[in-house]
Structure 1
Amino acid sequence: MPITDDDGLRSVLDGDTVAVVGCSTTAGKAAHDIPAYLQRQGYEIVPVNPFANEILGETAYDSLSDVPESIDIDVVDVFRPSEETGDIVDAAIDRHEDVGDVSSVWLQLGITNEDAGDHAAEAGLDFVQDKCMKVEHARLAG
C-alpha cells in the first residue's frame, strides 16, 4: 500500500541520498529541476541515465545496478513511464536485499504502478506514487 500520510512522507524524506532514475540533463524538465532542487536542499543526488556521463555535477550511472555499493542509497526517485517502474522496483529490491540500502521507492507525479507498489511493500520498502518529491519536501520540510 502506497504511503500517502504526512508522517510516512516525512519518514521517506528523511533519507540523505536519492538515486534519480530517469534524471535528465535538460534544465527546464522536471527530471532535471526536481533533482536540482533536492540537491540544493542538501540531498546527495545519484543520477541514473544511460545517455549521460554527468548530471548536476555528479557521475551518472547507466542503471540502478551500476551504482557502486559504496554509495548508500536511501530513496529511489523514478522519472520513467509507469510501465517501466516494475523493473525499476525489482532493481531497488535487489539492491535492498544484496547491499542493504534502499529503504524507499518514490514514483513522481503522474507515475503509478500498484503491482510494483505491492512488490515493494512485500520486500519491506516504503513506496510512494503519483506525488512530486519537490512539492512534498517544500510542503513538509521546506
Structure 2
Amino acid sequence: MEIMNIATCRVDFGNPTKGQEKAIIEILKMKNIAVVGLSPKPNRPSYDVAKFLLQNGYNIIPVRPAVKEIFGLKCYADLEKIDQPVDVVDVFRRSEYAEEIAKKAVKIGAKALWLQEGVVSEEAYKIASEAGLIVIMDYCLKKALIRYKDRLNG
C-alpha cells in the first residue's frame, strides 16, 4: 500500500495528526525491526520496548556493537552487517547519531525510520524522507503499538 509520501516529522506530545496516524499504522504493520542501540540491560527503555515488540509478534534484530546476543537473538555491530530484510529501523541513540543511521537505513533498503522519544534530527528526517522512507520522530514505538494495535487488521 502506497502512502502519500507521509514522511512525517515530530509527533506532537503523543497526539499525532491523521497523516501521522496513517504513517504509524503502516509502520506497525511491518514486522522486521532493527533496534539500533538496543541495550542488554533490562532496566533500559530500549530493552523494554524491544521485549514488548517481541511479545507482540515482531521480529527484532538487535544492533549493538560488542554484544553477541540479546533475548537469545544475534546482535549485529552495524545496520550494514544485517543479513536479513529490515522493514523498520528503530533508533535508541542520541540525536547526533541519527543522520548517519538514516543514511544506513536508506542504504539497506529499510521502508521506515523510527526515532524514539527524545531523538530528533531534521537531517535524518530529510535523508530518509527524500529516499522514500516513512519517518516518525520523537515518539515511542511501544506506546504507538499499545494505542493503535486494534487498528492493524484493517
CA distance in 1, matches of 2:53, 2:137: 17
Residue 135 of structure 1 aligns with which residue?
143
1:1-142 equivalences in 2 (<5 Å): 1-2=7-8, 4=16, 5-68=20-83, 71-96=84-109, 102-141=110-149
SS of the residue corresponding to residue 76 of structure 1 reads strand
CA distance in 2, matches of 1:109, 1:64: 20
List gaps (5 residues or longer) in structure 2.
Answer: 1-6, 10-15
CA distance in 1, matches of 2:144, 2:40: 23
Identity of aligned residues (%): 33
CA distance in 2, matches of 1:29, 1:67: 23
TM-score, normalised to structure 1, is 0.92
- CA RMSD for the aligned pairs? 1.1
CA distance in 2, matches of 1:26, 1:108: 18
Cα displacement (A) at 1:141: 0.6
List gaps (5 residues or longer) in structure 1.
Answer: 97-101
SS of the residue corresponding to residue 108 of structure 2 reads helix
CA distance in 2, matches of 1:44, 1:25: 17
Cα displacement (A) at 1:115: 1.5
TM-score, normalised to structure 2, is 0.85
SS of the residue corresponding to residue 23 of structure 1 reads coil
* Bigger radius of gyration: 2
Cα displacement (A) at 1:7: 1.4
CA distance in 2, matches of 1:129, 1:27: 24
Q: Deviations over 1:2-37 (max 9, x none)?
A: 254211100011101100000010001001110000
Asked if the contact 2:86–2:108 (Cα under 8 Å) also holds between the matched residues in 1, the reply is no
- Which runs of structure 1 show a deviation greater than 3 angstroms over 4 or more consecutive aligned residues? none
How many residue pairs get aligned? The number is 135
